[in-house]
Structure 1
Amino acid sequence: MSLPSFAFSTQRLGPEFAFEAYRELYSGGADVARIGSDFRAQVQAYRLDRMILFKRHLNGVQHSRSPQRVRQDGFDHVTLHLLLAGELVAGPPGQERRVRPGEILVCDNTLPHLSRAHDVHQISTPVARELIEPLAPDVRRFHGAILPERVGGLVADFIVSLTRRSESLDPTVASRSSAVLGMLLAAALRGQAAPAEAVVWAATHDASDDVVRRRAAEVHVEQHLGDRDLGADTIAASLGISRSLLYRAFLRDGGVARFVQQRRLERVRDALRRQGETRSIATLAYAYGFTSEQHFNRAFRTTFGRPPGQFRASMQQMRTQTGVRGDQTWPLAEWHSELY
């Protein structure tokens, strides 16, 4: 029994259909634009347990996830882009950097990012957050980080080997491989203040002391989201710092309270899209620290553009639908939903 897979190639399509077919292929997760006239794309994809492997050859194409796209689709996984050859410029909008062959770009899909590819050969690997975050709770701070070979080399070697063996890999072994990748990535990130070569989106405008305070505060928040008294006073007391220093670390988020609410909303959203989650919306809201269902519903709609019930229904619908182009079915929507 082989892994679920599919292949896409613009060589099989006429030039008048090639780009539209590719845009349709990625329509569920990114906005795609042509760069120049020489657009080409080949994709070989494999689905593993809580992980997807995309072996891609691309030229003349841009992928982007705008803030609006991020809010709408609610993706909450991490994607690793390993560059094997070619010119890839990528990162958070306005902070794009050139990725060198052998390096890995880390993208947190809860945040915007942009990439431009010219004669690129890369392996892109979406991974379930739950496989990484227990071991590296600050993975979100590495959005846009470019891991050089001295940091991400083991991760890169594993991704290359896994991709090369995907055609013949035993499904039982494959089902354990995603957890191994999560552990390798967590090991690469743990203890890293972000490599000198990295671009760290979340810390771009922070002073070094504020970065340390913020990271400690974020870990505390993640561990106590269900505590209804979680706030600036309790966080500052736990870290042994003043409220003013804590506020300074969260200025770009509009303050501590707003950051805490945002993380609570994101955690409820994660639960709503998770397969097998049967708790009611009200139960989930209270479990993650909200004291009013009405307030939670308003905040969710304001943040994500639709009520929580509608969001849950759309996630359930997405699992039963696939995108179709001509006589070819692309299962990416279903595959992405299985990351949660």
Structure 2
Amino acid sequence: MIEQFRFSSDDLPEEEAFDRYRELYASGADVTRGTGPFRAQVSATRLDRIILFHRQLSGVVHARQARVHADGFDHFVVTLVVSGSQIIHMGDTGPVVAYAGDVILTDMQKPSHTEIRDAVLVTASVARDLMEAALGSQLATAHGHIVTSPRSDVLADFMASLAHRAPTLDPAAVPGLCRAFIQILGAAWHSARPSPRSQALQQELAQRDAVDRYLALHLSDRSLSAESLAAAVGLSRSALYRLFERQGGVSRYIQAVRLDALRAALDDGVALPLSTLATAHGFATESHMSRAFSATYGTSPGAYRMAALAGAEGRRIELARRRWNGWMMKLD
């Protein structure tokens, strides 16, 4: 299943709509009113460690200044301007205007300030290691870079098509499409053949995809271990450990995948008893599941599920916010 959420300002008074939008984005940016009336239409789809947004925005400013040192975000944002324009400040540099067809790269570890007056955007939040696979050693200088036509043309076409079709994609196609995104981004960036480092990292992405596919089919197996996982996907134990070193090791990654799948089930309103969910997600006991979930999400599975029992509009906004926060935890 591919997770999604939507937000629309159309059915709310403008001030209330803006407050809801600011609440939705609160974990990622400081949102303020910009020039002109506010309007927002957001459609978001999670494609593993790429989160894809199609957004129609007007009268809004997104800023990341002091929070870059506090919120732990470690990913990049790749933004295609489909129509209209946006005014961008990156760090201490003066304003730059990005127009239709331009693709902007933003490092979430660095300050940024963006004003959108009337634009349609396709935005991809991309895990840092995926970006490194695309850009190699040049990742360090990518913040604020704008890829323009004609180098951006194929990437722009791919991003627009992916955003349009994301809600109806077959989940089995997602890993290949994510790798294609990285390769096309790399082709748009590099004037020459990608570096050996980039090629090696893209091979690691394929290996990680194999691990994720196996885990998705065997989450309920409590005997799952680094040894059995390595054997199942054809990797040595040392290669598997290197693959997930940044995630704190193989066992920690397996638990993170289990918790993420549990969060998604709770967000989708699965009404099974918590003991049944614990077994289905490979936890030894319900209490083990609850402790791990609380340590990660700051609340118990039962309380997390109950938090959705608000009014219709509040429930929809809360679901979007919680789902997005959960996605970001996996991304960073």
If the length of structure 2 is used for normalisation, what is the TM-score?
0.62
Residue-by-residue CA offset, 1:9-62 (whole Å, 9 max, x unaligned): 111222331111000100011110001451111101111111011100000100
Which letter does structure 2 place at the counterpart of 1:327?
R
1:11 to 2:10 alignment: yes
Identity of aligned residues (%): 32
Aligned 8 A contact 1:84 1:101 in 2: yes
Would the alpha carbon gap of residues 314 and 63 (structure 1) be closer, same or farther in structure 2, given more than 3 Å must change? Answer: farther
The correspondence of residues 160-171 of structure 1 with structure 2, limited to 5 A, is 160-171=160-171
Would the alpha carbon gap of residues 315 and 143 (structure 1) be closer, same or farther in structure 2, given more than 3 Å must change? Answer: farther
Would the alpha carbon gap of residues 275 and 187 (structure 1) be closer, same or farther in structure 2, given more than 3 Å must change? Answer: farther
Question: Offset of 1:134 from its aligned partner?
Answer: 3.3
Aligned 8 A contact 1:318 1:334 in 2: no
Question: Offset of 1:277 from its aligned partner?
Answer: 4.9
> SS in structure 2 opposite 1:22?
helix
> d(CA) in 2 for partners of 1:9 and 1:30?
18
> SS in structure 1 opposite 2:166?
coil
Aligned 8 A contact 2:52 2:122 in 1: yes
Q: Which runs of 5+ in 1 are unaligned?
A: 193-218, 220-268, 279-312
1:338 to 2:330 alignment: yes
1:70 to 2:38 alignment: no
Q: Which residue does the alignment assign to 1:148?
A: 148
Aligned equivalent of 1:93, options 91, 94, 107? 91
Residue-by-residue CA offset, 1:77-102 (whole Å, 9 max, x unaligned): 11111001112111403423000100
Would the alpha carbon gap of residues 169 and 275 (structure 1) be closer, same or farther in structure 2, given more than 3 Å must change? Answer: farther
Aligned 8 A contact 1:58 1:119 in 2: yes
Q: Which residue does the alignment assign to 2:81?
A: 83
> d(CA) in 2 for partners of 1:70 and 1:21?
22
Instruction: Give the number of equivalent residue pairs.
Output: 232
Residue-by-residue CA offset, 1:93-145 (whole Å, 9 max, x unaligned): 34230001001010011111110001110111111121221342321311000
> SS in structure 2 opposite 1:172?
helix
Question: Offset of 1:270 from its aligned partner?
Answer: 5.8
Residue-by-residue CA offset, 1:296-318 (whole Å, 9 max, x unaligned): xxxxxxxxxxxxxxxxx998237
1:326 to 2:326 alignment: no
Aligned 8 A contact 1:76 1:270 in 2: no
Structure having the larger proportion of residues in helix: 2
> d(CA) in 2 for partners of 1:79 and 1:274?
27
Root-mean-square deviation over aligned CA pairs: 3.2
Which letter does structure 2 place at the counterpart of 1:59?
S
Residue-by-residue CA offset, 1:153-210 (whole Å, 9 max, x unaligned): 2211111111111132111112321121112212222348xxxxxxxxxxxxxxxxxx
> d(CA) in 1 for partners of 2:248 and 2:33?
35
Aligned equivalent of 2:297, options 311, 317, 331? 317
If the length of structure 1 is used for normalisation, what is the TM-score?
0.61
1:276 to 2:256 alignment: no
Aligned 8 A contact 2:40 2:55 in 1: yes
> d(CA) in 2 for partners of 1:101 and 1:18?
26
Residue-by-residue CA offset, 1:274-295 (whole Å, 9 max, x unaligned): 99359xxxxxxxxxxxxxxxxx
Would the alpha carbon gap of residues 35 and 190 (structure 1) be closer, same or farther in structure 2, given more than 3 Å must change? Answer: same
Q: Which residue does the alignment assign to 2:283?
A: none
> d(CA) in 1 for partners of 2:118 and 2:294?
36
The correspondence of residues 251-290 of structure 1 with structure 2, limited to 5 A, is 271=247, 276-277=252-253
